[in-house]
Structure 1
């Protein structure tokens, strides 16, 4: 995947295709492309094993949104809000690591649905847990290959009923 491919692709065009990400920079570039197309109220769930690139992708999403502050793993704080930077797009990002959450009740305690009014919400380890936050969400499944490249598969999903 080249930067030009990512720059020109819409989320719809990226959906349903396995994207090979040779480097961490490619993973971050995909995140930038995703973030550039998100709006307040959008939910992105990042799925994949440890080391698959979820936080790198989230960092790129933050860059694409134009948020303030370094986007790092919120593993120990569970959730971190990144306000829009003065030169950003005006959309905040709430970055959540759901790995340590014990279930939906703990997710509800974070009041993420309130944040959706002004922010895009990106949830690592959110598949099967945070999919109730929005009627429709972007699921990004990441996996790491033996050669240390990553593969991403994007799909638009509907909340369970």
Structure 2
């Protein structure tokens, strides 16, 4: 799949781990089965912390932890919503190894999060959230949420740091 011309970015400053989880939960309120989220940022930026909040917001079985060594984990939904597929592409050699996971086969029933997925996972969906996290020396984070495709054209534009505390 290829990039569409419909993109927009929202930037939020997040002060704490609690606020990062709240951001994940706020994003969860907008997600549905079939959605793809691609997370990027350095080690310790808060990718898994964000995904923990997303999992809480979706109501999935936890705990949500980094799947670095498992590569991918599926967290079943405890209610009637979509499952969470949590992938860590850090140790993968490229898009071909990501393709070997067959993520596209189950994406219609789950929300799929790919940590370290920038430059590797975009082909999975024309409609996606690309979330880049930068952690600063004072432990605050700048989170840029890029909405790609018609599915996300109007979602999440009103997020603010005030809502996350």
Interval containing the TM-score (normalised by the shorter chain)? 0.7 to 0.9
Question: Structure 1 runs of 4+ off > 6 angstroms?
Answer: none
- Secondary structure of the structure 2 residue equivalent to 1:126: coil
Q: Which residue of 1 aligns with 2:158?
A: none
- Give the counterpart of 1:22 among 15, 18, 40: 15
TM-score normalized with structure 2 length? 0.83
Cα offset for 1:136?
A: 1.2
Structure showing greater relative contact order (alpha-carbon pairs closer than 8 Å, 6 or more residues apart)? 2
The answer for unaligned runs of 5 or more in structure 1 is 1-14
Q: Which residue of 2 aligns with 1:149?
A: 140
> Where do 1:1-161 residues align within 5 Å?
16-85=9-78, 88-157=79-148
Separation of aligned partners in 2, 1:129 and 1:24: 27
1:21·1:149 contact (CA, 8 Å) conserved in 2? yes
Residue correspondences, number: 142
TM-score normalized with structure 1 length? 0.85
